[in-house]
Amino acid sequence: MDKFISLIEEFLDANTIEKGNSKNTRYAYKNDLVQFNYWVKSKNIPYSKITENQIEKYLIFLGKRGYENSTISRKTACLKAFFKFLLKENIYKKNIMDKISRPTKNNLLPKSLSSNEINKIFNYLESNRLRNSYRDRVIIEILYGCGLRISELTSLNTHDINFEESTIQCTGKGNKQRIIPTNNSCLKSIDDYLQNERSKIKILSKNQALLVNKNGSRITRQTAWNSVKGIINILKLDSDITPHTFRHTFATDLLKGGANLRQVQEMLGHSSLAATQIYTMLDNEWIKKEFLIAHPRA
């Protein structure tokens, strides 16, 4: 018998004896673990070499396959119990599931923007020459291009933008600073704003705020919020779209593109991996498209 399958059977037997699990519970656990074993084998990973990073990739795989959050939560709980058992049996020296939490219905995020919606927004920003148009573009570029929280966006100073290194430094929760790489489009929008809009506003020399209002003061979160909602309303997009939706889209698009969960965690400024895991729930429209491309009978 396969060594990993043997360990699964030992775990199921122990659970039945110690916890009195029903036949249905045993059946569900076995299915979850056999599915995990199949994925591990498909990646040619020896059972003794499974790492936390590989568990993360497996959860992303489940998300891409369209599993509901509740189902992934159950499968995560099963893996937690299994690897706790393996630790107890001295198969592993540490529990590699310790830092991985179960996604719940309470931490579901708003939907991400589709590529069509993103294109529609940027096409509008490129042609818009109304008041604050340069500032509006910077707001959207940074929210989507860097995944900042709205409070992080409004607290940016001019010296936080490094044009030479193509990075933005921001201060997140707990006053923790992080440096985020950004793209040329974002940097150009910032430069255009500095040259064509901010430079024409009377600003005190000690005020280093990147984004300012007509009086030269740092814009508030509400001002940034109103800018985003104004664009959404003009384009008649989903009224539920908020500044945070762009952060969600940033993370989701990175994962779709193959970014590592740890890298996304660092860019989002999450203190724990658990907060980043919820971004593995990729939207069904993208999953369907991937299926149509990948499946030989699609």
Determine which one of 30, 221, 244, 256 is catalytic. 244
Write down the pTM of the prediction.
0.61
At 140, which helix (H) or strand (E)? helix 133-146
Determine which one of 65, 173, 188, 262 is catalytic. 173
Residue 270 annotated in active site: yes
Residue 159 annotated in active site: no
Residue 149 annotated in active site: yes
Residue 262 annotated in active site: no
Judge whether 218 lies within some domain: yes
| The residue type at 108 | L
At 169, which helix (H) or strand (E)? strand 167-171
Judge whether 288 lies within some domain: no
The CA-CA-CA angle for residues 64, 65, 71, to 5°, reads 105
Residue 279 annotated in active site: yes
Judge whether 10 lies within some domain: yes
Instruction: Say if CB 65 and CB 287 are below 8 A apart.
Output: yes
Judge whether 295 lies within some domain: no
Q: What is the pLDDT along the chain (298 residues), one digit of tens a residue?
A: 477 788 888 888 887 777 777 778 888 889 999 999 999 889 888 877 888 888 888 887 887 676 777 788 888 889 998 988 888 888 888 888 887 776 655 454 557 888 899 999 999 998 887 788 999 999 999 999 999 989 899 999 999 999 999 999 998 877 888 999 999 999 999 999 999 999 999 988 788 999 999 999 999 988 999 999 999 999 999 877 888 889 888 888 887 777 777 778 888 887 666 666 666 554 444 445 544 555 454 4
Determine which one of 149, 193, 198, 248 is catalytic. 149
Domain edge (last residue) among 52, 86, 107: 107
Residues 133 and 270 in one domain: yes
Distance CA 249, CA 55 (A): 23
Domain edge (last residue) among 107, 135, 168: 107
Residues 46 and 123 in one domain: no
Distance CA 88, CA 78 (A): 15
CATH code assigned at 242: 1.10.443.10
Instruction: Say if CB 216 and CB 157 are below 8 A apart.
Output: no
Residues 120 and 94 in one domain: no
The residue segments making up the domain with residue 121 are 115-280
